[in-house]
Amino acid sequence: MSRRLRRLPAILLPLVLAGTLAACGDDEGGSGSDDALHGITISGDVGKAPEVEWDGKLEVDKTETTVVTEGDGDEVKEGDQVSANIWIGNGYSQEKAYSTYDEGGKPEQFTASNDLSPVFRDAILGHTVGSRVAVTTTATEAFGESGNSQMGIAPDDSVLMVVDIMDIVVVLDGPQGDEQKAPKWAPDLVVDGDKVTGLDFTGTPEPDGKLRSAALIEGDGDKVTKGQTITVNYLGQVYKAKKPFDESYSREPASFAIGVGQVVSGWDKTLVGATVGSRMIIAIPPADGYGKQGNPDAGIKGTDTLYFVVDILAAS
């Protein structure tokens, strides 16, 4: 479903996800030695784009990890949801190849788990919030045998990655707060244990073309503000449809920026101001969803009203 959720940029997927990557790490399996940066100087404050001075072409044949700045926050542990900024340079050309700081400094969120590539996992796990960690590696270890053409990194190039660990985000296991009476316009939830599996429209009145939202559980956390990254579980179903067109309860929670146009406007307008821990029910008319064109890939027509249940599990 396009423009639904903020996913990892495709350009970053081979670096972050483990599937296509070779195993890596220095010979001792830990952080690199004092010369692991091969004469490269990295300066600037954590949370701002790093200033990198190269010492000629970066020549490496293995992956080494160096803590440039050690933060005084909590240590990242297995299973933590981590917010981090990433800067990547091409060691052959000594030029920047990618930076989250070019996108307004909005960090990406990752779960510290075995799903991460060894290159990225070693830059995150065991390090503390507020740290800046640098990794020197080969293009093939970072991105696979083909390198990364989108970043202009060829298979024979070397790579410098700088990771700023911004925060550990507390993600709830489910909604947390006070139950509220469901509004008359809302369908019933179909649940299996703690998971929402569908919506039952029996007795639900015809949509009236208005954007509507209500809290089925009023969360006891902070209010969501415009520009924050929120983590949610969700399920979406067209009015009177027999099954959902999309959901996350059978997968992992999804993270995306809210209130800035990265999702359908019906979400931006209703989730900003809701509280963390809330379970929201939302009715979205076409004007606040996919418009007259609908979303054929999801089986959504331009006249369909969309209903969502959204559990707000975190905001940062």
What dihedral angle (degrees, nearest 10) is formed by the CA atoms of 79, 84, 89, 91? -40
Would you call 62 exposed, middle or buried from its count of C-beta atoms within 10 A (0-12, 13-18, 19+)? middle
- Residue 216: predicted pLDDT: 98
What's 93's DSSP letter? T
Q: How far apart are CA 231 and CA 170, in angstroms?
A: 10
Place of tokens 């160096």: 66
**Is 113 within 8 Å of 125 (Cβ atoms)?**
no
Alpha helices per DSSP H over the chain: 13-16, 118-124, 139-143, 265-271
- Residue 253: predicted pLDDT: 87
Quote the pTM value.
Answer: 0.69
Distance, first Cα to last Cα, the chain: 24
Would you call 123 exposed, middle or buried from its count of C-beta atoms within 10 A (0-12, 13-18, 19+)? buried
DSSP labels, 138-169: EHHHHH-TT-BGGGTB-TT-EEEEEEEEEEEE
From the CB of residue 160, how many other CB atoms can be counted at a distance below 10 Å?
Answer: 26
Place of tokens 């139950």: 179
Q: Report all structural domains of the chain as residue ranges with CATH numbers, in order of start.
A: 13-169 (3.10.50.40), 177-315 (3.10.50.40)
For the chain, the residue count is 316
How large is the greatest C-alpha to C-alpha distance in the chain, in angstroms?
71
**Is 87 within 8 Å of 162 (Cβ atoms)?**
yes
Phi, psi of 149 (to 5 degrees): -65, -30
**Quick one: tokens of 289?**
């969803």
**Quick one: tokens of 18?**
């483990």
The rounded average pLDDT for each run of 10 residues, N- to C-terminus, in the chain (316 residues) is 47 67 39 72 95 95 95 93 93 95 79 85 94 96 92 96 94 95 98 95 97 98 92 96 95 87 94 97 96 92 97 93
